[in-house]
Amino acid sequence: MAFSDKIKEFVEQGLAVSKDVLSKAGDKAKEWGEMGVLRMEIIQLRSQAQKLTAKLGAIVYETLVEKGQSSVTKDSPALRDTLLQITTLEKQIDEREATFRAKGGKDDDLKE
């Protein structure tokens, strides 16, 4: 085999290895990007749930103190919609967290 053929073969092997490495790096970057998006979604959903929980507390206070009702239940019209929204958000958070973990994410990565 001539020297030029050996160089050509060496360069072709190097290119093949480089393509493989770049492909793997691209896949990893995409995965990290997806995990970053999931993490942000989880944080936003948690924030929404916290706001709704505070709203729920305000509704209960208003109902009991300001309106003078003696009790409230989860079926009270003033609470029903907010409780449903919180429950829906909890399910979405659980689903996103499960997806995050399935992609290799750790619980510590979800702490704010």
Domain ranges of the chain: 25-110
Model-wide pTM > 0.75 = no
Nearby residues of 8 by Cβ (< 8 Å), 6 or more positions away: none
Identify whether the C-beta of residue 107 lies closer than 8 Å to the C-beta of residue 60.
no
pLDDT class of 36 with cuts at 50, 70, 90 = confident
Pairwise CA distance, residues 20 & 26, whole Å: 10
Lowest mean pLDDT across 7-11, 49-53, 67-71: 7-11
**pLDDT for res 21:** 54
Chain centre to alpha carbon of residue 7? 49
